[in-house]
Structure 1
Amino acid sequence: MKKKQSVFSVIPKALVFGLIIGIGFYFLFDKFGIKTYKAQSKILTTSNEKIKDDDKTAYTYAETVNSNAIKKRVIENLKLDMDPGELDKKIQIQAIANTHILNINVKDSIKLRAEDIADEYAEITVSVINQLYKADAVVIDKAYPNASLAKTSEKDSLKVGLAAFITYFIFGSLVVSIRNSKNNDVEEYVEEKEIRKVVFTKDDDKEEYDYENDYDNVRESYINEDGNLVQEYYDEDNELSQDINSNEDLSTDEDENFRLYQNKENNKDYTIIADMPKYDDGDLDV
């Protein structure tokens, strides 16, 4: 029978699988033609005269413009075939520490679309900030045509490797469970079909005499004219021999056994090969 496997035996294989997928994703992702472009627009949230070192308004502006209302306007203006949730995954609004600068970062598989989204979002952001906060925000750096090919990050590779590990572990555990279940079914089937050897023991109280064995080598037995028992048999050299026993030599038990044997022989049925033909009266033609 196959030895049952533990579910934990899948872990080493899952780790190796996850490492291979993660490393392969990091180095070969771009080779497979799956490209991601990164575009960035920069916004100065106030004029140079109003900049203060301890001013944290850039963080406030960043939270303000990170809204679904602005995302919907970008989708409508660019006629994008996506919803605000999808656009949110492509956009990152970044406030640079100790500055009044906001970066609008966009990642997309199409270079021109990434640039358009970044620039459009920056224009709407400036309009909203100036309207709400009476600020002098301006776009100081546009994305078009400066989008670049984004390299696969270690963080993304780690996520892919972890996902591969979990996937392999789940499916591997399922396969091991199914195999163990089949092994259990086979063991139960074999136990049901196990051949049992039955041994019959001799009952001393009901001992039977085997007459055939006593006369297996006897070719013919008869009583001669002197009333003695004559037994003809073949010896070890395959020559016909005779044993002549007088009536005195035969014990009562042997005589009884012999009569039983003779009766047994007489009671045997013999198959008639063919019926003898009937002849009409007259001479027999030979």
Structure 2
Amino acid sequence: MRNRKSLFLAIPSAIIAGIIVGMITYFALNFGGYKEYKAQAKVITTNVENVDDAKDTAKTYAATINSSKIKQKTLETLAIDWNVGKFDSKLEIKPTENSSIIDIVVVDTNKLRAEDLADQYAEYSVRVLNNIYNSGASVMEYSYGSAGILDNSMRYAIIAGSIALVLWGLIQIIRINSYNRKVEKENLSASKANQVKELREVSDKSRKKDSQVNLDNKENIQEDQSQSTQVIDSKEIKEMSQEKSSKYEILGRIPSYKKGEIDV
């Protein structure tokens, strides 16, 4: 009978799979020449005269310009064939704490495209803020020509390794559960077979015992019958009577007496 496997056996293999996939991803990105660029434009939400009064408005204004309409308008202006979701995954709007400055950050594999997206989004954000709040917002710093290279190889390797770890772990768990179900069925079948075998052995032993008892009874009956039906012929009877009679000795003859001699 085989034993069940523990689900914890899936952990070591999942960790090994995650490490292997992570290493492959890291070296593939580095040797493949994969690069990402970070472009950052700065927006000031108020004019210079009101900077001190508006230094806590960055979070509010950042939420205002985080708009799907601004993103869609930016993509249309630059003629970039992306959907809003893809652009949103590459865009980050970061308000600086205790200030009136908002950073517009775009990360892309194309340096010029990242710079264009950040700068154009900053310009549209300024227009929206001035139209809504009339705050005197302006683009404080453009990103054109200043985008830097990002080394995200390790980050992507960790992400890929984590995904591989989870997926391989789930696969191993499914395989172990399937194996355990088969083992349970086999053990159940073996247990039933053993029970049937034991019942047969007990039945056979009982039959053998009964047959032996019957055989002994028959032998005893035959012996009794042979003893009770023993035939003795006339010759044996005569010899037996002679042997019996020879056991008694004749002491002598009784003397004759006259009538009255021994009468009392």
Structure 2 length as normaliser, TM-score?
0.65
**Alpha-carbon distance in 1 for matches of 2:115, 2:2:** 60
**Alpha-carbon distance in 2 for matches of 1:27, 1:123:** 39
Greater helix share, 1 or 2? Answer: 2
Greater strand share, 1 or 2? Answer: 1
Q: 1:40 matched to which residue of 2?
A: 40
Q: SS at the partner of 1:203?
A: helix
After superposition, residues 50-199 of structure 1 pair within 5 angstroms as 50-52=50-52, 55-152=55-152, 159-191=159-191, 196=197, 198=204
| Distance of aligned partners of 1:55 and 1:204 in 2 relative to their CA distance in 1, 3 Å threshold | closer
**Alpha-carbon distance in 1 for matches of 2:128, 2:40:** 19
**Alpha-carbon distance in 2 for matches of 1:83, 1:93:** 18
Q: 1:14 matched to which residue of 2?
A: 14
Q: SS at the partner of 2:102?
A: strand
Q: 1:205 matched to which residue of 2?
A: 214
Query: Greater relative contact order (Cα 8 A, min sep 6): structure 1 or 2?
Result: 2
**Alpha-carbon distance in 1 for matches of 2:168, 2:32:** 22
After superposition, residues 233-248 of structure 1 pair within 5 angstroms as none
Deviation at 1:20, TM superposition (A): 5.2
Deviation at 1:105, TM superposition (A): 0.4
Are the equivalent residues in 2 in contact too, given 1:53–1:99 (CA < 8 A)? no
Are the equivalent residues in 2 in contact too, given 1:54–1:98 (CA < 8 A)? no
Q: SS at the partner of 2:104?
A: strand
Q: Deviations over 1:80-121 (max 9, x none)?
A: 333222221111011122333221101123333222211110
| Distance of aligned partners of 1:149 and 1:58 in 2 relative to their CA distance in 1, 3 Å threshold | same
Structure with higher Rg: it is 2
Are the equivalent residues in 2 in contact too, given 1:62–1:94 (CA < 8 A)? yes
Are the equivalent residues in 2 in contact too, given 1:65–1:125 (CA < 8 A)? yes
Deviation at 1:69, TM superposition (A): 1.4
Structure 1 length as normaliser, TM-score?
0.61
| Distance of aligned partners of 1:88 and 1:74 in 2 relative to their CA distance in 1, 3 Å threshold | same
**Alpha-carbon distance in 2 for matches of 1:9, 1:35:** 38
Deviation at 1:22, TM superposition (A): 5.0
Output the aligned Cα RMSD.
3.2
The one-letter amino acid of 2:145's match is P
Deviation at 1:52, TM superposition (A): 0.8
Deviation at 1:11, TM superposition (A): 2.6
Are the equivalent residues in 1 in contact too, given 2:29–2:153 (CA < 8 A)? no
| Distance of aligned partners of 1:164 and 1:43 in 2 relative to their CA distance in 1, 3 Å threshold | same
| Distance of aligned partners of 1:169 and 1:70 in 2 relative to their CA distance in 1, 3 Å threshold | same
**Alpha-carbon distance in 1 for matches of 2:76, 2:175:** 49
**Alpha-carbon distance in 2 for matches of 1:153, 1:88:** 21
Question: Structure 1 unaligned runs (5+)?
Answer: 210-251, 253-286
Are the equivalent residues in 2 in contact too, given 1:38–1:149 (CA < 8 A)? yes
Deviation at 1:9, TM superposition (A): 2.7
Question: Structure 2 unaligned runs (5+)?
Answer: 220-229, 231-264
**Alpha-carbon distance in 2 for matches of 1:89, 1:66:** 13
The one-letter amino acid of 1:124's match is Y
